[in-house]
């Protein structure tokens, strides 16, 4: 008589999604009643100007559509490459092409954004996605080299240009500062929602047999067309009158001459590196030792946790919690380092491992709008794009080196790569601690030293 061995595939409990949903709702709806400033979030505040509400909602809608385009590639990029017959080595090559392009072209895109206008770079982001979508539709076997470079450049632009455009428009229209802080966390919140929506949308398209792997590309073309139309219908943006030489001289004086911006940039680079390493290694970590898991069902859990983390930000900036933003960032970076170290060196059951992943993303959701606020405090708007793109250079270089050494040559194990991420996060925590001390000095007095 034969023996049948049943194997089960692990998947998150339905209660997990319910808990994440209600936690987000609880954090958002409770905040207006406990804020010591006795004001509500701009998401529900009807007392502020209607012009700002129109501006905020239009921007968030455009940003959400752009996030869906980014999310379609993040969720289905590997699926598309596999459908074209590419193997593991070629997929790894595509990642290397992308990070190499971001490493060398990223800083120039940031400078270009400051000089010609951030809206034009946002338009270029949409054009890149539109071009890649058309390329995939008309070509039976699109070049992995061209596709990876274009999408990596689009991702680089997405990481800084929408934020810089928002800050520039916000200042130009004279809206109040606390409203900008609210928009920062709403950006992180709606970006996470859009990533989840992109996964659901892509699954629906593929499940309905809409040309299989080409379905996400068709959706990208449609969304890119909407965004391009919206961006071209708006008013013209007035670029800087500085020449490239004047810009470089001023950039050196204000950005390289301020140690606080160095600290802020390094903290951003360490976060970017740890997130990149996480998304590269999380799936191999979960399926280690042959464990069977529904990876697609974990994706919404991570992003839902990130949404919860973003809703904590207005509690900090409103003074509802007795802790400074810089102190909270120190704790958040330390928690990230501890979580990543446990994942790297301590074998865990899947349930506990997913809990650690969710905690990781909750901290990321808090850190992202917090860093955006600190950039508003310390970085001049006319150099914000260049500063943000330059801060990504060490992270992209480290990720590219990790892919080459860990992926191609197998000289470095996954645990070691995560250990480097831990060291970076702990150093970022130290940077935030030092930044808090420097931040006590007024901006004009700092430059006189």
With a CB cutoff of 8 Å and minimum separation 6, the contacts of 64 are 190, 191, 193, 194
Residue 386, both tokens? 């260049």
Give the pLDDT confidence of 94-139 residue by residue, as tens digits: 899 999 999 999 999 999 999 998 999 999 999 999 999 998 888 8
pLDDT, residue 446, reads 38
Please give the CATH superfamily to which domain 242-449 belongs. Answer: MFS general substrate transporter like domains (1.20.1250.20)
Residue 213, both tokens? 């792997």
Strand partners, 10: 293
pLDDT, residue 337, reads 95
CA distance 374 to 316: 13
Domain boundaries, the chain: 52-238, 242-449
pLDDT band at residue 418 under the 50/70/90 scheme: very high
Residue 357, both tokens? 């992943």
Cα dihedral 183/184/185/187 (nearest 10): 80
Q: Do domains 52-238 and 242-449 have the same CATH topology?
A: yes
Task: Give the chain's end-to-end CA distance (angstroms, integer).
Answer: 85
Please give the CATH superfamily to which domain 52-238 belongs. Answer: MFS general substrate transporter like domains (1.20.1250.20)
Q: What are phi and psi of 103, to 5 degrees?
A: -65, -45
Using the predicted structure, report yes or no on whether residue 399 has a pLDDT greater than 80.
Answer: yes
Give the pLDDT confidence of 242-253 residue by residue, as tens digits: 788 889 999 999
Using the predicted structure, report yes or no on whether residue 386 has a pLDDT greater than 60.
Answer: yes
SS3 assignment for 337-365: HHHHHHHHHCCCCHHHHHHHHHHHHHHHH
Using the predicted structure, report yes or no on whether residue 42 has a pLDDT greater than 90.
Answer: no
Give the pLDDT confidence of 156-211 residue by residue, as tens digits: 999 999 999 999 998 888 887 778 888 999 999 999 999 999 988 888 877 765 55
Give the pLDDT confidence of 323-375 residue by residue, as tens digits: 788 899 999 999 999 999 999 887 778 889 999 999 999 999 999 999 999 99
DSSP assignment of 364-433 equals HHHHHHHHHHHHHHHS-GGGHHHHHHHHTHHHHHHHHHHIIIIIIS--S-HHHHHHHHHHHHHHHHHHHH
């Amino acid at each position: 008589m034969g023996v049948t061995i049943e194997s089960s595939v692990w998947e998150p409990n339905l209660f997990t999604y319910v808990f994440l949903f209600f936690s987000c709702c609880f954090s958002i709806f409770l905040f207006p009643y406990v804020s010591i400033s006795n004001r509500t979030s701009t998401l529900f505040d009807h007392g502020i100007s209607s012009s700002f509400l129109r501006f905020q909602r239009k921007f968030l809608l455009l940003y959400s559509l752009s996030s869906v385009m980014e999310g379609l590639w993040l969720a289905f990029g590997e699926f598309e490459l596999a459908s074209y017959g590419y193997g593991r080595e070629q997929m790894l090559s595509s990642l290397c092409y992308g990070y190499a392009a971001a490493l060398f072209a990223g800083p120039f895109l940031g400078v270009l954004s400051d000089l010609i206008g951030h809206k034009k770079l946002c338009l270029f982001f949409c054009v890149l996605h539109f071009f890649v979508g058309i390329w995939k539709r008309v070509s039976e076997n699109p070049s992995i080299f061209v596709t990876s470079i274009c999408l990596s450049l689009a991702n680089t632009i997405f990481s800084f240009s929408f934020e810089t455009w928002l800050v520039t428009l916000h200042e130009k229209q004279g809206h109040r500062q606390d409203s900008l802080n609210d928009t920062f966390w709403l950006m992180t919140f709606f970006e996470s929602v859009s990533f989840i929506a992109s996964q659901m949308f892509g699954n629906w398209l593929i499940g309905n047999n809409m040309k299989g792997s080409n379905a996400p590309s068709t959706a990208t073309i449609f969304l890119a067309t909407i965004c391009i139309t919206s961006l071209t219908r708006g008013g013209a943006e007035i670029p800087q009158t500085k020449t490239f030489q004047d810009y470089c001289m001023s950039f050196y004086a204000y950005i390289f001459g301020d140690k606080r911006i160095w600290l802020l940039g390094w903290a951003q680079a360490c976060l970017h590196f740890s997130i990149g390493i996480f998304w590269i290694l999380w799936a191999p970590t979960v399926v280690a030792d042959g464990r069977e898991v529904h990876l697609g069902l974990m994706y919404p859990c991570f992003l839902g946790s990130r949404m919860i983390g973003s809703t904590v930000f207005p509690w900090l900036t409103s003074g509802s919690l007795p802790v400074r933003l810089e102190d909270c960032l120190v704790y958040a970076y330390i928690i990230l380092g501890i979580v990543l170290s446990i994942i790297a060196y301590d074998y865990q059951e899947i349930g506990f491992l997913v809990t650690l992943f969710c905690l990781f993303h909750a901290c990321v959701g808090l850190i992202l709008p917090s860093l955006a606020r600190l950039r508003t405090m310390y970085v001049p708007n006319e150099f914000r794009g260049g500063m943000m793109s330059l801060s990504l250079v060490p992270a992209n270089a480290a990720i590219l080196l990790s892919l080459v050494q860990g992926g191609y040559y197998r000289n470095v194990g996954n645990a070691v790569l995560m250990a480097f991420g831990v060291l970076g996060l702990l150093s970022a925590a130290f940077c935030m601690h030092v930044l808090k001390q420097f931040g006590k000095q007024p901006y004009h007095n700092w430059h006189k030293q």
